[in-house]
Structure 1
């Protein structure tokens, strides 16, 4: 945590008072020395004057000045960048359940690995985030609308069923519609909460056509997300060597990194590549940090108050020990 600003910097004018205290102390010490020099009976002076302590007699005053400096900084309201949990946000998790997710290039297979990572993501997301779930193959289905309740999302992830085709655009459009409906309900005076789509898929779009610029295609949907200011974080899951058996025929199902990267670029989101279960878990963990927390300028005065108070007590203790009195 690094100090980055002050909410009330005009309190630093108190430093003039601290400077005046220092100047007054120096003047008082010099006047005291002059009065001592005017004392002509040196034998009597040695008997009544306390033994000189050298530099040690200045310790209480120095600690007092340090305490005033620390407390002045605290009054000025130092701030620092801190990660704090989001208390309002909407996230739609969109998962591909096409038959290509049966490929075993990722053990035990793509869908099982995806389910495990998605559940960890859902369970670890901060409580203030509303999470929804959509699955898509030939069509898209809203399995869980946005909610802070994670149990239903985890259960729905466990019950994902595979089907034919890959309608990536439909999955994005369904997520946008779900976000829009939820935002209309919870908007309030502050407006709708910020929203994001997390899209995980392993292959190319196949319906309604293979053209991502189709009116219901993936790129068209990404453009719609951009217009609605909903970024899409895409995860391209799988390797280039995936093979799946469909109706007795082996078909290659390589991950479509290029399309996923383009969707993220169009919608103003981030692209991730996961070619193993461990990589997918790391991607979801990174997304959880990005989505669940935000960086804010938070009050950082407490350490200065504590340190200033501690030094003040040390000044009082030093004064009692060295001078048998409080300053």
Structure 2
């Protein structure tokens, strides 16, 4: 596996030319020493010096020293490598669709049960130090479980899902953000007032004092992420892309998971007949705007695999990391080993 390297001070790489120069000097000294030995030493001494047992030993300390010097010179150039490291993600918000369309059976046994089972399997795979909160959304969005380390409480909350009408995808993102930033004054009711209130939809949010926010680069907030699972299109609540912009401005990634069929199907719910289809384009745009990823889960098995992928994606991430200290440590080990072997074999450091 190749690990690409970049250097903060690449001009220091010119110093690596010292290594081949020292190697040439070393070979020159060997030849000079060999000529001197032949000229002045007895035949027995020369034969002993050229014996196979000591021939390779005398080269080991100098080679180790040159390797140590190479590592030190590389460290001086401050190299960066892209490594897979444990994520700093401490909070994950699961925003799960509980609209009536989730009763469709194109994902066995139905979309809701499949999403519940996959979510519980996802929780089992997460490291225990990661907090998880759950937001359920249909005509509005509400927190059914605040971020917690208790997997048992999360499972209980998931099992209590009840289907409702309409789909407020944008509201789910806003409520999730309010859980991630409880002191930011993010107020869902003020955003939907005048639209959903007129339709008789109750908003379970207390008004908060709005606070000014300075936008940060999308995807730059590494302490939390949102996983949004839905099978339909927004029919009410905050505009989805407006909510996505709020997440992007706060650096929070919104990973979107689409369940069901793109073509859609007609289902019945509480005496109503409706046609539901997956709005993939919007979900892809939400993920793209927040520097996250979109996943399509057309079957229960695919949905489980999506959550497995997300578990890995959120607990291990690739980061560009400076490795100067590692190279300096390697140089110290090689230099110490070189000096130690020289003392052990020849009673001198040379």
User: What is the TM-score with the length of structure 1 in the denominator?
Assistant: 0.74
From 14, 35, 49, give the equivalent of 1:33: 35
| Secondary structure at 2:236 match in 1 | coil
Structure-1 residue corresponding to 2:166: 165
Give, in angstroms, the shift of residue 153 of structure 1.
Answer: 2.1
Q: Distance in 2 between matches of 1:259 and 1:11?
A: 47
From 202, 227, 233, give the equivalent of 2:231: 202
Q: Please, which runs of 5 or more residues in structure 1 have no aligned partner?
A: 40-44, 185-190, 209-215
Q: Distance in 2 between matches of 1:52 and 1:166?
A: 86
Q: Distance in 1 between matches of 2:46 and 2:283?
A: 85
Give, in angstroms, the shift of residue 206 of structure 1.
Answer: 2.5
Structure having the higher Rg = 1
Q: 1:60 to 1:100 in 2, by over 3 A?
A: same
Q: How does 1:176-187 map to 2 (within 5 A)?
A: 176-181=177-182
CA contact (8 A) 1:90 1:193 kept: no
Q: How does 1:109-148 map to 2 (within 5 A)?
A: 109-148=110-149
Structure-2 residue corresponding to 1:289: 312
| Secondary structure at 1:121 match in 2 | helix
Q: Distance in 1 between matches of 2:46 and 2:173?
A: 87
Q: Distance in 2 between matches of 1:312 and 1:221?
A: 61
297-306 or 62-71: which moved more? 297-306
Give, in angstroms, the shift of residue 176 of structure 1.
Answer: 1.9
Give, in angstroms, the shift of residue 174 of structure 1.
Answer: 1.1
Structure-1 residue corresponding to 2:25: 23
| Secondary structure at 2:58 match in 1 | helix
Q: Distance in 2 between matches of 1:16 and 1:193?
A: 42
What's the CA shift string for 1:220-265, capped at 9, x where partnerless?
Answer: 3223333333332211111235453323566443322233233334
Give, in angstroms, the shift of residue 111 of structure 1.
Answer: 0.9
CA contact (8 A) 1:22 1:65 kept: no
Q: Distance in 2 between matches of 1:183 and 1:149?
A: 25
CA contact (8 A) 1:202 1:237 kept: yes
Give, in angstroms, the shift of residue 73 of structure 1.
Answer: 4.0
Q: 1:33 to 1:200 in 2, by over 3 A?
A: same
Q: Please, which runs of 5 or more residues in structure 2 have no aligned partner?
A: 186-219
CA contact (8 A) 2:49 2:55 kept: no
From 242, 249, 252, give the equivalent of 1:220: 242
308-317 or 263-272: which moved more? 308-317
User: What is the TM-score with the length of structure 2 in the denominator?
Assistant: 0.70
Q: How does 1:70-149 map to 2 (within 5 A)?
A: 70-75=67-72, 76-77=74-75, 80-149=81-150
Q: Distance in 1 between matches of 2:349 and 2:253?
A: 63
Compute the RMSD of aligned alpha carbons.
4.0
Q: Distance in 1 between matches of 2:177 and 2:349?
A: 69
Q: Distance in 2 between matches of 1:218 and 1:230?
A: 15
Give, in angstroms, the shift of residue 37 of structure 1.
Answer: 2.8
| Secondary structure at 1:134 match in 2 | strand
Q: 1:174 to 1:265 in 2, by over 3 A?
A: same
Structure-1 residue corresponding to 2:56: 59
| Secondary structure at 1:181 match in 2 | coil
What's the CA shift string for 1:63-111, capped at 9, x where partnerless?
Answer: 2222112323444546543222223443321000112111110111111
Q: Distance in 2 between matches of 1:105 and 1:235?
A: 16
